[in-house]
Structure formats: C-alpha cells, structure tokens
Structure 1
Amino acid sequence: MNSTRRLVLSALATSMLLVACGKKEEAPAPAAQPAPAANAPAAVKTYKVGSDASYAPFESETADKKVVGFDVDVLTAAGEKAGFKVEFINTPWEGIFNTLGTGDRDIVASAVTITDERKQTMDFSEPYFEAKQLIAVPEASKVSKADDLKDKKVGVQTGTTGDEVVQKILGKTSPNIKRFESTPLAIKELQNGGVDAVVADNGVVINFVANNPDAKLKIVEDAGFAKEYYGYAVKKGNTEVANKVSEGIKAIKADGTYDKIFAKYFGAKK
C-alpha cells in the first residue's frame, strides 16, 4: 500500500471516530404518568365528642362501654347530612367543657343548655331540643310548686341549670342544696330519703319516673321555670364545626329524620 493511500484511509478512520464520539445519546422518553382522579372525594373528618353518659335518655353507656342516646343519634344523623363523623367518649360532666379548650374534644354533646354565661366561653350549634326544669318528689310529698322547696333539702347535679334554678329559690350558699356528680345519684338520694326533692331537666326526670315505677316518685311542674334549649358546644371561635353541626341539624329537621329520632325516645310530638 502506497503512502498516499495509507494517509487517506487513516484520515477517513479518524473522521469516523470523531463523528461517533461526538454523537449525543438521546434521552429516554419520560414514563407516562397516571392522570389524576377527577373529583376525588375529600376525606371525611371525624370529631371527638365528649358526653357525660349518665343522663339517660340523652346519653348513657351500654355494658360494652358504648355511648348511646338521643344526643348521640341526633348528632350522628346530622353528621351524615353535613359530611362528618363522630366518635363519642364518656367524659365526666365536671370539667367536660375544659376538654374543648385543650383540644381533647371537638364537640360536647351532653344535654347542654345554651345560656348567656356559657356563650362567653364556648360556641354552640343551633338548638336541637327544648327543655325545662321539673321537680321530682316522693308520691306522698305535698310539694306542688317551686316555692314549696324553700325549706326543703334539694338534690341537683353540680353545675347544671337545675343547680342554678335551685340557687335562685334557696340562695347560692344554702346548705340545703345537695350537689351530686350526676342526676341519677341525686335521684338515688331522693329514694333513700337524703333529700326531699330533685330538680333536673324534663327529659331525664320523665324518663326515670316512667321507667322506675317502684321508686314511687311523681313529677311537679312549675310555670315559673323558663324554657331552655340544648345545643352542641364547641371551642370558642370554632365556627367551622359549629356551622357544620347546625347545617346537619337543619337538614334532619327538614327531611323528618329528627322527628323519627325524637319519637324513639319521647314519643310522637303532640
């Protein structure tokens, strides 16, 4: 091979090598990404609910520690309408409202009367039950009105509106006001003769007297006892939860669900 031909072939080989080295590798095509689901449903929020489960028929506890009752059914149904779930936790009445401030509970559902005093430290849903105070006394008692309690020993549940009503009758510091952790304990003391009367919400008193005929108690009404309204309590400023609960209450009142729940516990509305 002559030198000229050798130079040509060498130059050609060098040129091909440079072309090969200079060629860029093409990047692989990106893998196809799955399209986002259209209108994916938002996660349903579950609220922790505090209830003093010693206040039948509004809330009580079964043998397997489940909280049941009127308040439970109403709030559960309201949640189904407004898009939230509820988890009920038996919580002692004394200190129950503090759990809202600490965040341990999102809602208190415990036959809570809406009062101006309570509104200063918590917010409420719209009312879901109309209540009033009643007096429970032995069948032989001569008590026929609230004024007849002035010289009597009266049992109440601590911190309730029944407690407030009796303070107005007997005086805030009266030693004749006997306070108990629950209304059933106060009624038990009435049966044992430790107090002469018990003042408590109508639903609880009516339920106990109707279901315990052997207790031989009767109910006394007083026209001077004002109407009260129950609401579900939330932390002060938590309008989001209060509005959701109110939305649900309005919905179950509108479609008849509320009336069915009411009839289950108190009979059909008259």
Structure 2
Amino acid sequence: MTALTTRRFLQTAGLLIAGVVLSACGKKEPPAAAPAASAVASAPAPAVKVYVVGTDAAYAPFESQNEKAEIVGFDIDVVKAVAQKAGMEVKFVNTPWEGIFNTLQQGDRDFLVSAITITPERKQTMDFTEPYFDAQQLIAVKQNSKIGKFDDLKKLKVGVQTGTTGDEVVTKLQGKTSTNIKRFESTPLALKELESGGIDAVVADNGVVINYVTNNPGSKFKSIADKAFQPEQYGLAVKKGNADLLAKLNKGLADIKADGTYDKLYTQYFGAPAPKGAAAPASAASK
C-alpha cells in the first residue's frame, strides 16, 4: 500500500513538472532591446562629394605633370587652398584644352582651372569666379630676332595654342584666312617649333612665356611686351547657373587672399609677391 502510494505520488509529481516545463517553453520571448545610441552613431557617414576639376596640364607654371605624372602648378595649389577653406574635396583630371569647355557643359567636370581668361564670349556659356590672376600676352622670339613689336608679326609665321586668347589676337592681326598662323595643342609645343626655326614667333600668356624662357636658357629666347595687348584675368569656370558652387569658390578665394595664402603661393611660383591690387575684380572683363 505504501509502495503504491509512493509510485502514484512520483507519477503525479512527474506530470506536474512536465507541465511546468512545457508551459515555460510556450512563453514568448521579450521584445529585443532598442539599439544602443553608440551603435546608431557608428553608422557610416554619407559619402562626401568629390568635385572633379578639369585642367590642361601642359601650361607650366600654372598646371603641368611632374615625373610621377602628378598634376602640379600654381593653379592646382590655388584650388587646393580654396577647397580647404570651403570644406570641399577635389580631384584633378587632365583634360585637353580643345575639349575642356565641353566637359563642363556635359557635366563631366564640376569646374575648370586652366589659366582660363575671363572673356565676354566665354561668360555667355559659363560662369566665372572673381579673378585670381592678372595676365597679359607676350611675344617669344629668338634673341637675335629683329622683331620688336606686335605689329611686326603681321606677315610672319606665328605659333599659338589653339583656342587661346593668343590665338584670338594673332587672328585679329593677320586675318581669319591667314596661313601664317600655326596652331598647336600646347604652348610648349609652339615654343619647341620656334626653337627649331619652323616659326618666327610665339604669342602666349606672360606667365607661361616667362617660365619657359627662364627654365630653357639653351633655347636662347627673349620675350617682348606690347601695349597692343590688353590686360587679362584668369578665373575658375563653373557651369552656367551653378550659383552654389560659384559662391563656395568665391568665398574660398577671398579667404586665401585675406590670410596670406595667395601671396605665399604667388611668391613660390613667380619669385616675388603679387603686385598690389593683383587679381582685383575688374569692372569689365579683359579680352
């Protein structure tokens, strides 16, 4: 009797324990805790826009390629300084001069820096920042040349870079149908042709001509200035109507002029501080 009672008690207890276990297994899990604030904060930040900058890297000292194929020069350092002030990231892409403005119109480049003269014609299809460099055309000739002024080039063979303001002024002097105007993809190529005797002179921006004459003494060139050449100013070019980017670049330019960065770069590349009032906004665009 006692043994039976004990067995039945154990059976009953076993059933009760099993029921408790099954009941526990059937309970719902509590809802997952919300992610910690630190986990939310560690989410990847949105990608920063990198502005693609077009430049024809064959125009030392403004833009050229070094032995590592890196794009360097005064223009490049100016844009890097402007971008730092404006909180922008930039990427420079070597872009042939002849198609450089099309890349801007098509959206392949966000803006351009390439010793670009601000002209009324160009302002019809693109917008420019405030000027950052004052320029003027110079004539490069051999040291023994008898050429003394721009008008002397009227019937001579003159080299220019295609589509530049140098091309424009020589075309105006000799006429659109002149066969004496020799056009090249870059100013250094035109100067090489002058060295070999294929042309009588080269007309190009003063910064480029002076840099070439200084760094190539074996060429035995000299440069000639002429009052017939109108003052010019370079600006950064953006797509027409891109007011937001234009404002950022203008602010960056103003900042580097104010804190001395611009003067430091000018001295580094041209051997002397920028003239007083250099690259001041002009009331009317130059040539």
Q: TM-score range by the shorter chain?
A: 0.7 to 0.9
Change in 2 beyond 3 A, CA 1:44/1:126? farther
Partner residue of 2:37?
Answer: 34
Partner residue of 2:207?
Answer: 203
1:234 and 2:238 correspond: yes
- Aligned partners of 1:152 and 1:176 also within 8 Å: yes
1:224 and 2:228 correspond: yes
Q: What residue identity is the alignment partner of 1:163? A: D
1:91 and 2:88 correspond: no
SS state at 1:96 partner: helix
Query: Structure 1 length as normaliser, TM-score?
Result: 0.86
**1: CA distance, partners of 2:95 / 2:32:** 60
Partner residue of 2:251?
Answer: 247
* Equivalent residue in structure 1 for 2:75, among 62, 71, 78: 71
* Equivalent residue in structure 1 for 2:260, among 256, 260, 270: 256
Partner residue of 1:158?
Answer: 162
**1: CA distance, partners of 2:266 / 2:89:** 21
Q: What residue identity is the alignment partner of 1:76? A: K
Deviation per CA, 1:182-231: give whole Å up to 9, x if none.
00010011011111000000000000001111101000000121110001
The Cα of 1:126 is off from its aligned counterpart by 1.1
SS state at 1:88 partner: strand
The Cα of 1:33 is off from its aligned counterpart by 4.7
Partner residue of 1:109?
Answer: 113
The Cα of 1:42 is off from its aligned counterpart by 7.7
- Aligned partners of 1:112 and 1:232 also within 8 Å: yes
The Cα of 1:45 is off from its aligned counterpart by 2.9
**2: CA distance, partners of 1:262 / 1:94:** 27
Deviation per CA, 1:66-109: give whole Å up to 9, x if none.
10000000000000001101111111111011111221111111
The Cα of 1:31 is off from its aligned counterpart by 2.4
* Equivalent residue in structure 1 for 2:129, among 94, 106, 125: 125
* Equivalent residue in structure 1 for 2:190, among 186, 191, 195: 186
Query: Structure 1: which 5+ runs fail to align?
Result: 1-23
1:49 and 2:79 correspond: no
- Aligned partners of 1:44 and 1:83 also within 8 Å: no
Partner residue of 1:62?
Answer: 66
Partner residue of 2:218?
Answer: 214
- Aligned partners of 1:128 and 1:249 also within 8 Å: yes
State the Cα RMSD in Å: 2.0
1:168 and 2:172 correspond: yes
**1: CA distance, partners of 2:179 / 2:264:** 43
**2: CA distance, partners of 1:190 / 1:252:** 38
- Aligned partners of 1:57 and 1:265 also within 8 Å: yes
Query: Structure 2 length as normaliser, TM-score?
Result: 0.81
Deviation per CA, 1:95-148: give whole Å up to 9, x if none.
011111221111111100010100111111111000000000011111111111
Change in 2 beyond 3 A, CA 1:260/1:44? farther
**1: CA distance, partners of 2:179 / 2:207:** 27
The Cα of 1:258 is off from its aligned counterpart by 0.3
**2: CA distance, partners of 1:153 / 1:86:** 40
Change in 2 beyond 3 A, CA 1:240/1:189? same
Partner residue of 1:9?
Answer: none
SS state at 1:206 partner: helix
Q: What residue identity is the alignment partner of 2:178? A: S
Query: Structure 2: which 5+ runs fail to align?
Result: 1-26, 276-287
